[in-house]
Amino acid sequence: MAPMSATSPAASPAISPATSLWERYQAHLVRYKDMGIWLDISRMRFGDGFFAEMNGKAEEAFVRMKELEAGAIANPNENRMVGHYWLRAPKLAPTADLRDEIETTRESILGFASMVHAGEIKGGMARFSDVLLIGIGGSALGPQFLSEALGAAKDPMKIHFLDNTDPDGFDRTFAKIKSLSTTLAVVISKSGGTKETRNGMLETQARYESEGLSFAKHAVAVTGRGSELDKAADKGGWLRRFPMWDWVGGRTSVMSAVGLLPMALQGLDIDQFLAGAAAMDAKTRIAKTSGNAAMILALMWYFAGDGKGMKDMVILPYKDRLVLFSKYLQQLVMESLGKERDLAGNVVHQGIAVYGNKGSTDQHAYVQQLREGVPNFFATFIEVRKNRDTVPFDVEPGVTSGDYLQGFLRGTRSALYENGRDSITISVPRVDAFTVGALIALYERAVGFYASLVNINAYHQPGVEAGKKAAARVLALQGKVRAALQAANGSPLTASQIAAGTGSDPEDVFHVLNHLAANASNIERSDAEAPGHETFRFR
Amino acid sequence: MAPMSATSPAASPAISPATSLWERYQAHLVRYKDMGIWLDISRMRFGDGFFAEMNGKAEEAFVRMKELEAGAIANPNENRMVGHYWLRAPKLAPTADLRDEIETTRESILGFASMVHAGEIKGGMARFSDVLLIGIGGSALGPQFLSEALGAAKDPMKIHFLDNTDPDGFDRTFAKIKSLSTTLAVVISKSGGTKETRNGMLETQARYESEGLSFAKHAVAVTGRGSELDKAADKGGWLRRFPMWDWVGGRTSVMSAVGLLPMALQGLDIDQFLAGAAAMDAKTRIAKTSGNAAMILALMWYFAGDGKGMKDMVILPYKDRLVLFSKYLQQLVMESLGKERDLAGNVVHQGIAVYGNKGSTDQHAYVQQLREGVPNFFATFIEVRKNRDTVPFDVEPGVTSGDYLQGFLRGTRSALYENGRDSITISVPRVDAFTVGALIALYERAVGFYASLVNINAYHQPGVEAGKKAAARVLALQGKVRAALQAANGSPLTASQIAAGTGSDPEDVFHVLNHLAANASNIERSDAEAPGHETFRFR
C-alpha cells in the first residue's frame, strides 16, 4: 500500500453501512481510561430512543442504589441492609462500628496470612502448604473464580475445595492433598448451618483425627457471630475465627473474609482487588446513565430480554484465566434476579439465564448454535488486551497465538452480528487483582440496577428454601423407612406397604429404598417388573 | 410405627394426587436392569396423547437412524457417512476395511499405552509420567470429561490440556508440568489444520527444544490420514500416529483414538467404556419408542421446547465427578442441533441451549431462578446411586453425606415440579467407564433422533466457518495495519486514515491497533477523547 500522510483525512464521501457502525461504536463506547476498561454496546440493536424511554426507570434505580449504599433496608423481605459496597470503601459504611469491623477484619486477614506464610502459625511442625476451603455457593464460587483467575503455580499455598456433600467428591479431594498436617482447613458458612458445609467439615475433622492430628489446630472459621459454626470453633479452640455480616449476601461476599482470607493465604493482592472494585464503584456511583458502565450494562440486559429475561446471557471471555467468570456470574445474576414476585407482590417470574466458558474454545462447542440456531441469547465478549507476561512467540512471521485469540474474538463478534445476534464487548487491559475486582463490582452494580429497572428485590433468595425443606423430609423419611424394614424383621416389603404404614408418598419411599439398597449392605432388593411390586428387606 | 405384614396390600381407597404421580412414575419408567440405568419422565407434563401424536415422526427417525448405522451418507452437506456407532460395535461397520481399522486402532492404542507404562517407549531416560493433550472442542472436551469423571490420583499418568490459543493459558499449563522430559505430548486434530491446536503444538515444540529435548521423541499425533499434522508427524519422526476418520465427527469422536488414547494412557478402562456404549446402543437401536430411552429422551426434549428449542436444557448431575458432563453435552447438543436450515432448506433456527454444573452445589447458585424465575428451561437430574467406594461415614446417626446428596436431589426435583417446572431424572448405579460410555451413547442417539424429529442435519457445523473467515480477515488486516504504520515512518495515524489507505473498515483497524499497542512494544498509542481521533505510530 502507498504511504499515507498523517494529516490526510479519511476519504469517505458517503456514509457506508460500515462507517455508520464505526460511528455507532464511537458514539456509545464507554471508556474508563485510567482503569483501561471499555464497554462497547454498538452491537446491541437498540433504537435511538431507547435510553430516553428508559430514563425514568434509570433515575429511580439511581435513587434506590443511593439509599442502599447509605444503609437503607434494601432487602425488605429479610429486614437487612445491603452493604457489599462498603467492603471496598469502608468510609461509606453508615456507622463507625461497621467501618471499624471492615477495616479490622482486612487487617487481621493480612496479619494472619503473613504469620501462616512465615510459619509462625502452624498446625504441627512444618509451615502450612495447602488450604482446604470448605464452603458452597457464595462461600466457594468467589474463591474458586479468584484462584483460577489470579493463582499461579508459584503461590505460597495451594488451594483445594470441598463444595458439595458428595462423599466420593470428598475422597477425591483428600487424595489430591499431599499432607493434612500442613493443610489449613478454612470452613466458610455465613449462617453456620449449611448442611453441605457441615458435612464437609465433619468428614474433614474425622480425616485429621484418623491421622492423629488435631483438627482445631488446623482450622479457621469464617461465619456469622454466634452461629452454630462460630460456637463450635470457639469451643473447639480453632486457630482463628473471621466474621461474616448479615448485611453481606453470600453471592456478594467475595470482598469480605469469604474471599479475602483465601486470597491472602494464596498470596494474592487483596488490596489491589479491593482498589479495583472501589475504582469501578466510584465511576458507576455517579447517578447519570451516560458514562455509567453499570447502568448501561443493566439497560442492555433490559433491552435484550425486553425486561423479562427473554434472552439468555452468554459470557465469552477470551482468556483461560476467566473460564469460571460465567459460573460466578451465573450465581450473581440468576440468584439475584430469578424471582417470582416483584416488590409490589405481583407474580413476574423474572431472571436472566447465564452460561458460558471461554473463547475461542467455545467456538468449537456451541458457537454453531449461537450463529445459526435459536436466537434466544445475547453474548458478552470479554477481551483481555495483554497476551502474556512472558516473551512473545511467533507462530507465523509476525503473528502470535494471542493475535489468533484476538482474531477469533473479533471474527465471532462479526459473525454473530451479521446473523442478527447481538453482543456486548468488555475490554480489560489484563487479568490481575485490580481488574478482577473492577469486573466484579461492575456486574454487582449492574445486577442491582437491573433489579430496580424490573422492580424486584435482588438481595434475597426465597426460592431455595422449598428444596431444602423437601430434602429434610426425604431424610426424615429415610429414618422411617429404615425403621419399617427393621420392624418387619426380615420380611420383604413393597414401597406402597411402607408408605401406607408411615403415611408417606409411595414414590418417595421407593426412591429412599433404592438409595438405601445401593449403599447399605444389610438392605436387600428383590427385582420385579413393576416398581410397585419390588420388595425390600432387612437381612 | 406398627409392624406391617409383607403381604398386606397398600391401603389406598381413593387415588390421591400423590398416588397418581406414583402411577405415572411407574407407567413411564424405563429401566435397563442389566445396566442399572433408569429413565424417569414422570415429571414432564406431556399429555396422554403425546406419544401417539409423535409416532409418525418417531418411526421416520428410526428409519433414518437405521440407514445411518448401515453406512448411508447421513451427512449430506459434507457427503460423509456417520459412523460413531461402529466404534463400539465394529462388526456393524459397513465394510471389512473399516472394521479392521477400528479394531486395529483399539489394539494399537492398548499396546502403545502398555509400552509407555512399562517404560518401553520413553522420550528420554525415564518413564513418561504426564500426558499433555493439545486439542480443542471435540478433540479436548471428551478427554477432559473422562479424566474428570474417571481419573484418580493414583493413575499411572497425569493429564494436562492446551485447549485454546491463549498464550497466557499455555504458560500456566506449562508451569503445572513438573518435567517435559517425562511428558508425552498428544496432538489431536481431525483436519490437522485447526489453528488453536497448531499454535499450541508450535509453542509446545519450542518449549521442548528450549529445554534441549527432541519434541518428536515426546510426541504422538491423532489426525486424519494425509492431513497437515499427519505429514508433519510422519516427516518429523514422531513416536506414533493414530488415525481419525472422516466418518467420525469431532463431537462424537470420544470413542475413536481421540478419547481412547488419553484414556488408555491414564490407565482407564477403554474396553468397559466401549462396552457401556455398545450395551446402550443395543437397547436403543430397537425401533420402538416404548422402552427406548434415547427416543423417549428426544421426545421429551421435543415436548419441552415444542420442537423449537424454546426451553433450555439444564443438566444437574448430583456427583462431583460428572461436573463436566453438561459442558460435554453443551457441545454435543448445541453443535448438532443448532442449525439455521432444515433438510428441506427452510430457515428454522433450531437448537437447544444446554448448561449446568452439579448438584447440590448449583442449588446454592441458580436453583433460586429455576424454581421462581423465568420458566424457560427443563431440568435433567442425574442420580448416582453409589455414594462412595470407601467406608461409609455418618454425619448424623444413621445419615451420611451421600444421604444428604440424595435428599437434595429429590427435594429439588419436588420443589421444581411443585412450581410447574418439568424435569427428567436419569439414575445410574455408579460413575465408571461402563456407565459413562452408556450415558454418552444415550445422548448421542437421542441427539440423532431429535435431529430427525425436527428434520435437520445433526452432523455438520456450517455456522462455524463464518467466524473463522472473519478471524482470518482480522489477522490479514493486522499485517496491513502494521505495514501502514511502518510505512508512515513514525508519523502518527488514525484508524480512519489507515482504513482509507487499506480499503478496510475503520473500526476493525481501530481494534487491531489497540491490540497491537497493548502487545508490541514498538507501537505507541496517543490518547484522545474520541476513538476516531486517537493516533498510533511506530517508534
Question: H or E element: which one contains A39?
Answer: strand A37-40
CA distance B469 to B462: 12
Pairing label, strands B493-494, B523-526? unpaired
Q: Which of A1, A410, A412 to mutate to test the interface with B (most CBs of B within 10 A)?
A: A410
Phi and psi at residue A521, in whole multiples of 5°?
-70, -15
Nearest-CA distance from B100 to chain A in Å? Answer: 30
Q: Average pLDDT, stretch A76-102?
A: 95
Answer yes or no: do B340 and A532 touch at CB < 8 A.
no
Q: Average pLDDT, stretch A453-473?
A: 93
Question: Residue with C-alpha cell 428449542?
Answer: B309
- Residue B38, beta-bridge partner list: B31, B427
H helices of A338-432, in order, are 367-372, 401-418
CA distance A462 to A394: 53
A288: pLDDT strictly greater than 80:
yes
CA distance A221 to B184: 42
B9: pLDDT strictly greater than 60:
no
Closest Cβ–Cβ partner in A18, A351, A537 for B505: A18
Query: All 3 cell numbers of residue B208?
Result: 521442548
Q: Name chain B contacts of A411, Cβ cutoff 8 Å.
A: 466-474
Phi and psi at residue B299, in whole multiples of 5°?
-65, -35
B126: pLDDT strictly greater than 50:
yes
Is residue B350 very low, low, confident or very high in pLDDT (cuts 50, 70, 90)? Answer: very high
Is residue B467 very low, low, confident or very high in pLDDT (cuts 50, 70, 90)? Answer: confident
Pairing label, strands B535-538, B523-526? antiparallel
CA distance B26 to B42: 8
Q: Which of A306, A406, A457 to mutate to test the interface with B (most CBs of B within 10 A)?
A: A406
Question: Residue with C-alpha cell 402411577?
Answer: B23
Query: Closest Cα to residue A523, out of A506, A505, A508, A535?
Result: A535
**ipTM entry:** 0.95
Question: Residue with C-alpha cell 525415564?
Answer: B126
Q: Average pLDDT, stretch A124-128?
A: 94
Answer yes or no: do A337 and B369 touch at CB < 8 A.
yes
B28 catalytically annotated: no
CA distance B131 to B145: 15
Phi and psi at residue B471, in whole multiples of 5°?
-65, -40
Could you read off the pLDDT of A226-268 as tens digits, one per residue? 999 999 999 999 999 999 999 999 999 999 999 999 999 999 9
Nearest CA in chain A to B357: A327
- CA-CA distances (angstroms) from residue A433 to A314, A383, A425, A484, B168? 23, 16, 20, 56, 16
Per annotation, catalytic residue among B288, B468, B469, B533: B468
A16: pLDDT strictly greater than 90:
no
Cβ within 8 Å of residue B473, ≥6 positions away: A411, B508
B533: pLDDT strictly greater than 90:
yes
Q: What percent of chain A has pLDDT over 70?
A: 96
Question: What is the average pLDDT score of chain A?
Answer: 95
A453: pLDDT strictly greater than 60:
yes
A127: pLDDT strictly greater than 90:
yes
Query: Closest Cα to residue B527, out of B494, B488, B489, B484?
Result: B494
Could you read off the pLDDT of B231-252 as tens digits, one per residue? 999 999 999 999 999 999 999 9
Sign of CA dihedral B39, B40, B46, B52: positive
Pairing label, strands A183-189, A130-134? parallel
Could you read off the pLDDT of B68-103 as tens digits, one per residue? 999 999 888 889 999 999 999 999 999 999 999 999
- The DSSP output letter for A13 is S
Closest Cβ–Cβ partner in B153, B321, B392 for A175: B153
Q: Name chain A contacts of B411, Cβ cutoff 8 Å.
A: 466-474
pLDDT at B1: 34
Answer yes or no: do B411 and A375 touch at CB < 8 A.
no
Nearest CA in chain A to B168: A388
Sign of CA dihedral A476, A478, A479, A483: positive
Q: What percent of chain B has pLDDT over 70?
A: 96
Residues of A annotated as part of the active site: 335, 364, 468
Say which amino acid occupies B226: G
Answer yes or no: do B373 and A171 touch at CB < 8 A.
no
Question: Residue with C-alpha cell 429439588?
Answer: B412
Cβ within 8 Å of residue A286, ≥6 positions away: A292
Say which amino acid occupies B100: D
Kindly write down the DSSP assignment for every residue of B375-440, as one continuous string. Answer: --EEEEEEEE----SS---EEETTEEHHHHHHHHHHHHHHHHHHTT--EEEEEES--SHHHHHHHH
Q: Which long-range contacts (CB under 8 A, 24 or more apart) does A215-220 make?
A: A215/A185, A217/A123, A217/A124, A218/A123, A218/A180, A218/A181, A218/A183, A218/A184, A218/A185, A219/A184, A219/A185, A219/A186, A219/A187, A220/A112, A220/A184, A220/A185, A220/A186, A220/A187, A220/A261
Q: Average pLDDT, stretch B353-376?
A: 97
Answer yes or no: do A375 and B349 touch at CB < 8 A.
yes
Q: Name chain B contacts of A361, Cβ cutoff 8 Å.
A: 136-137, 140, 163-164, 196
A116: pLDDT strictly greater than 80:
yes
DSSP E strands, B225-376: 240-244, 312-317, 354-355
pLDDT at B5: 38
Cβ within 8 Å of residue A235, ≥6 positions away: none
Q: Which of B209, B301, B314, B515 to mutate to test the interface with A (most CBs of A within 10 A)?
A: B515
CA distance B345 to B150: 42
Is residue B19 very low, low, confident or very high in pLDDT (cuts 50, 70, 90)? Answer: low
Cβ within 8 Å of residue A358, ≥6 positions away: A316, A317, A318, A319, A320, A322, A323, B164, B166
- CA-CA distances (angstroms) from residue A25 to A294, A359, A446, B506, B508? 18, 22, 21, 11, 11
The whole-angstrom distance between residue B322's C-alpha and the CA centroid of its chain comes to: 12
Is residue B144 very low, low, confident or very high in pLDDT (cuts 50, 70, 90)? Answer: very high
CA distance A220 to B237: 55
CA distance A351 to A334: 6
DSSP E strands, B238-386: 240-244, 312-317, 354-355, 377-384
A15: pLDDT strictly greater than 60:
no
CA distance A247 to A225: 13
Cβ within 8 Å of residue A234, ≥6 positions away: A241
CA distance A198 to A24: 53
pLDDT at A521: 86
Q: What percent of chain B has pLDDT over 90?
A: 93
Cβ within 8 Å of residue A193, ≥6 positions away: A227, A228, A229
Q: Which residues of B189-208 are buried (b: 16+ CB within 10 A; e: fewer)?
A: bbebebbbbbbbbbbbbebb
Chain A with chain B: Cβ pairs closer than 8 A: 564
Kindly write down the DSSP assignment for every residue of B134-202, as one continuous string. Answer: E--GGGTHHHHHHHHHH--TT-SSEEEEE-S--HHHHHHHHHH-S-GGGEEEEEEESSS--HHHHHHHH
Query: All 3 cell numbers of residue B13?
Result: 381407597
List strands edge to edge, sheet with A423-428: A30-32, A37-40, A423-428, A377-384, A312-317, A354-355
pLDDT at B515: 97
B468: pLDDT strictly greater than 70:
yes
Nearest-CA distance from B130 to chain A in Å? Answer: 16
Query: All 3 cell numbers of residue A278?
Result: 472501589
CA distance A375 to B453: 20
pLDDT at A2: 37
CA distance B338 to A372: 6
Question: Residue with C-alpha cell 447421513?
Answer: B74
Is residue A76 very low, low, confident or very high in pLDDT (cuts 50, 70, 90)? Answer: confident
